[in-house]
Amino acid sequence: MIKHINNVDINYIDYGEGKNTVVLLHGWGQNIEMMKPIGDKLQKYNRVIIVDLPGFGNSKEPDTIWTMYDYTECIHELLKSLKVTNPIMIGHSFGGKISLIYASKYKTNKLVLFGSPFKKEIKKLSTKTKILKALKKVPILNKLEGFAKKHIGSRDYKQASEFMRKILVEHVNLDITEEVKKIKCPTLIVWGTMDQEVPIERAYELEKLISDAAVIPYEGCSHYAYLERINQTINILKNFIGGE
């Protein structure tokens, strides 16, 4: 489905039903497919909305240089148009950073973070080759191999448009520590102990910054820990969200 929000056509899927609405936001260079394995398992007892963030998947690129706050406002306006209030926000990496800002500004039922940066990291985001190498270890993505080769990392710094490159730089450099301190909703922080993009230390920093938060480390897992142990992730989410 497509909605025109803040001068950008946004692609999203909206399915399932229940008293809670779960909103899933993917990482940089990815799209709906990377979050759908979670949405599919939660849709029996929850309304699920998964978004192609602007500039990725089938959503259009912004025609100006968007900040992280612009992305957050876009998600907020999309949810308002869908009559969603008090969502459960679940985000991976770039999508997690947007979810953090969202939860600091708007009513949020619960928050789940997968490898979500909140301040500048010295290490650059993965290139396509490094991402694909990591994903070979993720069984659930075997069936998405064609998609992964075509899409994952296809909008990294060198290959992205001028606007998306500048958005990436803004994202990487933005420190949202002060925003994070404002988050009051229950927060679950799932992180791979071998995450080379955003180190596990950041998970414990977030736990201290957020008043009601807990870290669940996945031993030996990467930046894609939530998919590497998808069954564990689903069980944790069902217990955290409730409804079953």
Instruction: Classify domain 2-241 by CATH number.
Output: 3.40.50.1820
How many beta carbons lie within 10 A of that of residue 225, not counting itself? 27
Q: Both tokens of residue 5?
A: 């929000």
Residues in a beta bridge with 14:
49
Task: Please write the tens of the pLDDT for every residue from 50-72.
Answer: 999 999 999 999 989 999 999 99
- Predicted confidence at residue 166, as pLDDT, reads 87
The domains of the chain are located at: 2-241
Q: Tell me how far the alpha carbon of residue 134 is from its chain's centroid.
A: 18
> pLDDT: is 162 or 167 the higher one?
167
* pLDDT at residue 154 in the model: 40
Give the pLDDT confidence score for residue 54 in this predicted structure.
Answer: 96
Higher per-residue confidence, 184 vs 127: 184
The pLDDT tens digits for 25-37 are 999 989 999 999 9
Beta bridge partners, 218, equal 192
Whether 153 contacts 29, CB under 8 Å: yes
pLDDT of residue 194: 95
CA distances from 134 to 12, 140, 184 (A): 26, 13, 33
